[in-house]
């Protein structure tokens, strides 16, 4: 990572965890009571006041404690100092479709991104599971406070894989390749969203293939955590760039073979 005298990732991680606590305090009661109104954004994705209010709390805390940093969130867009090399990338509720149906697989995603090095710190908090993952370069990766690392599986025939099918894969002509990957694997499931990637980071799953149509706030925290846990996170072409619209996480050993198998 590029050295920077004005940043201490341990301090940033501590702040991000405190922010996640504040976010959980907003989002979880909405989920438990299911007392929100549902609307659709321009892209037809679901959004609730829980999404917006959770992001507001996150942005306010970042602006208070890191006024010199940039901020980019799903609901409110850009804020802060656009000239800063440091940007907080946030998704207040990843898995809103689950959230509104009472499925507990949703989370707040918080990442710190450097303009050269990309995501270097991430916190993912899923209070309804309840699970929380966090990681930072030089510090380590943790699941509910316990150190975690990716698996050592080296063959797809012995791997557990999670695949998210969607229209984007259909339009790219990749659906049959996804089916073939599942058939080659030892076991296939569809955990979806952030969770499949965190299972890779924990070593419980070996390959996670996400939907096509993602945004930077879907990828940033995930990439930081998977990488610190020893894995790889790229787009479907093998490019390490959290701003791309697809995401594949693996334990690293399987990555190149997976990317090759999905190229269409």
Q: What is the pLDDT of residue 75?
A: 87
pLDDT at 4: 52
Reported confidence tier of residue 1, pLDDT bands at 50, 70, 90: very low
pLDDT digits (tens, 9 = 90+) for 71-120: 999 988 999 999 999 999 999 999 999 999 999 999 999 999 999 999 99
pLDDT tens sequence across 40-60? 655 556 678 899 999 999 999
Pick from 227, 228, 229, 196: nearest CA to 211: 196
Q: How many CB atoms lie within 10 A of CB 130?
A: 11
The verdict on pTM exceeding 0.85 is: yes
Residue whose token pair is 């370069």 = 137
CA–CA dist 94, 108 (Å, integer): 6
3 state SS of 100: helix
User: pLDDT tens-digit profile of 7-24?
Assistant: 999 999 999 999 999 999
**How many of the other CB atoms lie within 10 Å of CB of 67?**
10
Distance CA 193, CA 253 (A): 22
Q: Name the residue among 112, 95, 113 with its Cα closest to residue 104.
A: 95
pLDDT at position 46 is 65
**Does residue 130 have a cis peptide bond before it, meaning omega lies within 30 degrees of 0?**
yes
| Domains of the chain with CATH codes | 9-147 (3.30.540.10), 156-262 (3.40.190.80)
């Amino acid at each position: 990572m590029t050295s920077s005298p004005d940043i201490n990732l341990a301090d940033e991680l501590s702040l991000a965890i405190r922010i996640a606590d504040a976010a959980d305090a907003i989002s979880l009661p909405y989920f438990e009571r299911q007392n929100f109104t549902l609307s659709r954004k321009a892209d037809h994705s679901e959004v609730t006041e829980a999404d917006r209010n959770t992001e507001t709390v996150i942005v306010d805390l970042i602006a208070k404690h890191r006024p010199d940093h940039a901020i980019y969130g799903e609901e409110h867009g850009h804020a802060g100092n656009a000239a800063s090399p440091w940007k907080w990338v946030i998704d207040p509720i990843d898995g809103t479709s689950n959230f509104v149906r009472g499925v507990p697989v949703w989370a707040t995603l918080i990442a710190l991104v450097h303009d050269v090095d990309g995501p270097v710190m991430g916190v993912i908090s899923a209070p309804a599971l309840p699970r929380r993952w966090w990681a930072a370069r030089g510090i380590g990766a943790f699941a509910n406070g316990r150190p975690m690392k990716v698996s050592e599986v080296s063959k797809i025939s012995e791997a557990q894989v999670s695949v998210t099918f969607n229209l984007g894969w259909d339009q790219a002509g990749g659906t049959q390749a996804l089916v073939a990957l599942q058939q080659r694997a030892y076991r296939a499931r569809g955990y979806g969203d952030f969770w499949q990637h965190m299972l890779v980071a924990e070593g419980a799953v070996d390959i996670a293939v996400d939907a096509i149509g993602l945004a930077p706030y879907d990828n940033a925290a995930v990439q930081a955590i998977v990488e610190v846990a020893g894995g790889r996170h790229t787009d479907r072409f093998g490019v390490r760039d959290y701003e791309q619209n697809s995401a594949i996480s693996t334990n690293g050993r399987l990555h190149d073979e997976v990317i090759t198998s999905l190229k269409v």
